[in-house]
């Protein structure tokens, strides 16, 4: 028996087989079926999620344990790096730029604490800062830790629980 030449419907790869076949492998067959039945799969998943909320919770917990912190940290630093780039990657007052870990994002008018409390977490807060900076906002500056604490002390922006002046 002679092998015939066919093209896979999914990946368009040329393959040879003894009788007429539409796909080169089982994976291509499954992928093609999923592409052509997206709406059916979506409806099925919606029903399944309603019937199995406990399984979804277990899956989410397992996924977060395995990948969650790494995924979040990666995107957190990507956003923070983009903010630093938009703000010039150096201290606005003294020009320090040797170590990025020392640099801090500071609100020019001193209302950063109020914004941070509203936004529920640093990731969402940094995303909000990034979107404001992309729209052309001048409300934020990059300061080194020394300049930032001096600015807060001079402008009386310190939280009553954070720092108290010591008289020696």
Tokens of 119: 């936004």
pTM higher than 0.75, yes or no? Answer: no
- The secondary element (H helix, E strand) that includes residue 25 is none
Q: What is the pLDDT of residue 48?
A: 93
- pLDDT grade for 119, boundaries at 50, 70 and 90: low
* Contacts by residues 17-21 (CB-CB < 8 Å, ≥ 24 positions apart): none
Instruction: Supply the range of the domain harboring residue 78.
Output: 53-154
- State pLDDT tens for residues 64-84: 777 767 777 788 889 999 999
Are residues 100 and 28 part of one domain? no
Number of domains, the chain: 2
Q: Over the chain, what is the mean pLDDT?
A: 84
pLDDT tens for residues 146-160?
999 898 888 887 765
Q: 88 in a domain, yes or no?
A: yes
pLDDT of residue 1: 64
Same domain for 62 and 93, yes or no, is: yes
Q: Is residue 163 part of a domain?
A: no
Looking at the structure, do residues 66 and 127 belong to the same domain, yes or no? yes
Asked if 39 and 70 sit in the same domain, the reply is: no
Q: How confident is the model at residue 165 (pLDDT cuts 50, 70, 90)?
A: low
Rounded-to-integer distance, Cα 88 and Cα 135, Å: 16
CA distance 19 to 16: 9
Q: Evaluate whether residue 36 is within a structural domain.
A: yes
């Amino acid at each position: 028996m002679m092998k015939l030449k066919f093209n896979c419907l999914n990946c368009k790869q040329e393959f040879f087989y003894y009788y007429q076949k539409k796909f080169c492998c089982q994976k291509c067959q499954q992928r093609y079926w999923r592409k052509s039945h997206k709406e059916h799969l979506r409806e099925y998943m919606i029903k399944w999620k309603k019937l199995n909320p406990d399984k979804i919770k277990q899956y989410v917990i397992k996924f977060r344990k395995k990948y969650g912190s790494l995924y979040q940290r990666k995107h957190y630093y990507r956003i923070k790096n983009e903010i630093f780039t938009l703000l010039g990657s150096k201290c606005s007052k003294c020009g320090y730029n040797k170590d990025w870990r020392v640099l801090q994002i500071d609100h020019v008018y001193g209302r950063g604490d109020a914004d941070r409390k509203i936004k529920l977490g640093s990731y969402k807060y940094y995303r909000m800062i990034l979107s404001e900076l992309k729209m052309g906002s001048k409300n934020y500056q990059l300061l080194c830790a020394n300049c930032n604490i001096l600015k807060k002390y001079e402008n009386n922006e310190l939280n009553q629980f954070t720092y108290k002046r010591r008289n020696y």
